[in-house]
Structure 1
């Protein structure tokens, strides 16, 4: 189990970073927000979890142990794998995910690409008591805080959103809503963050 990595950032993508550890570049899958917080050439420390499959070893990284713990916890639910767990943390903050589960907020959970009503109900059924036992207050059904990154070039933002699981139309609508605010971000990470924020409303 690789619990954390620390080293200079060699590359930053929309949903991953490459961190040099002991002369080896490790490809770490992250949320867009985590990737946006990394800068090429600067040292970063990420809490990580290694997902082992027959055909691959995949490393996922987070800003802290709280997000990593939730990433691992939601995967105890049948049908929730690492990609879906990461998508949940891309759309909502860790607190937002916990509050949605504790309050049975299916609308918030189904905003995550890949989670339908039945999937949301299963997540609530299997995790609600565990989340409540942690002292988490249920949400009141309001919007949860998105935790995401972004991109000013429409085509790149569109590609990233579709890659995260939204439809082409949903991606276009989110991009247009961001532009309609009159304050279009000029950085890749900022634009994607704003678009994801719109999708999380």
Structure 2
């Protein structure tokens, strides 16, 4: 199977490109994010490739980097998320933003993609939460506190702090981002400290 293509950018369509590799043109489906970052026609291009083989076709899906490709693979494990929907989601959310949205259970952010309704968005964030939660918060839970610093916050405390901020009227993604920064600061690990630090972050 194809894993990567390196060649010359020959043509750009609405959601596809043609990459010329040694005189052979490969049709590759891409997200809007990838299409927007491509070089000019005739210039060198490199795409990470995911190959889908069916009885009636072989489709190539191309990505700027491995993180986008890995997210595409993860998204398409969810029932109801095919290749087209996966690309649509990656067109509106970069990998880091998608990681944060899923970890924060922000279905509204995922539902911005074409073809993703509220029910499918909820299924995506619910099914993938356990796979990306630690990625969004970073090494907070496993880090050792420096001298004079509080112990790292555990997942339960951060989730409670996020919920409290949401109840105060903040958006879930904003609340999650602020709590994650508060947890990384090492200034506090209990729920009340995280809320206080997150509110300070949100007020900046």
Do these two structures clear the TM 0.5 threshold for a shared fold by scoring above it?
yes
User: Contact 1:74–1:85 (CA<8 Å) still a contact in 2?
Assistant: yes
Q: What secondary structure sits across from 2:78 in the alignment? A: coil
Q: Judging changes above 3 Å, is the alpha-carbon distance between structure 1 residues 140 and 125 closer, same or farther for their aligned structure 2 residues? A: closer
RMSD between superposed Cα atoms in Å: 1.6
What is the CA-CA distance between 1:141 and the residue it aligns to? 2.4
- Give, in whole Å, the separation in 1 of the partners of 2:64 and 2:77: 21
Q: What secondary structure sits across from 1:71 in the alignment? A: helix
- Give, in whole Å, the separation in 1 of the partners of 2:50 and 2:26: 13
- Give, in whole Å, the separation in 1 of the partners of 2:102 and 2:131: 10
**What count of residue pairs does the alignment treat as equivalent?**
141
Match of 1:95 in 2: 96
Q: What secondary structure sits across from 1:141 in the alignment? A: helix
Is 1:7 equivalent to 2:3 in the alignment? no
- Give, in whole Å, the separation in 1 of the partners of 2:127 and 2:115: 18
- Give, in whole Å, the separation in 2 of the partners of 1:71 and 1:91: 13
User: Contact 2:33–2:92 (CA<8 Å) still a contact in 1?
Assistant: no
Match of 2:128 in 1: 127
What is the CA-CA distance between 1:22 and the residue it aligns to? 2.6
Q: What secondary structure sits across from 1:86 in the alignment? A: helix
User: Contact 1:12–1:38 (CA<8 Å) still a contact in 2?
Assistant: no
| Cα deviation 1:5-52 (Å, max 9, x = unaligned) | 000111122321110113210011112232232311101010011111
What is the CA-CA distance between 1:65 and the residue it aligns to? 0.6
Is 1:42 equivalent to 2:43 in the alignment? yes
| TM-score (normalised: structure 1) | 0.66
Match of 2:110 in 1: 109
After TM superposition, the structure 1 = structure 2 runs for residues 7-26 of structure 1, keeping only pairs within 5 Å, are 7-26=7-26
Q: What secondary structure sits across from 1:7 in the alignment? A: strand
What is the CA-CA distance between 1:84 and the residue it aligns to? 0.4
- Give, in whole Å, the separation in 2 of the partners of 1:32 and 1:127: 23
- Give, in whole Å, the separation in 2 of the partners of 1:34 and 1:66: 12
User: Contact 1:12–1:39 (CA<8 Å) still a contact in 2?
Assistant: no
Structure 1's unaligned 5+ residue stretches are 143-201
Deviation beyond 4 Å, 4+ runs, structure 1: none
- The structure that has the greater radius of gyration is 2
User: Contact 2:33–2:90 (CA<8 Å) still a contact in 1?
Assistant: no
Match of 1:82 in 2: 83
Q: What secondary structure sits across from 2:53 in the alignment? A: strand
Match of 2:173 in 1: 141
| TM-score (normalised: structure 2) | 0.65
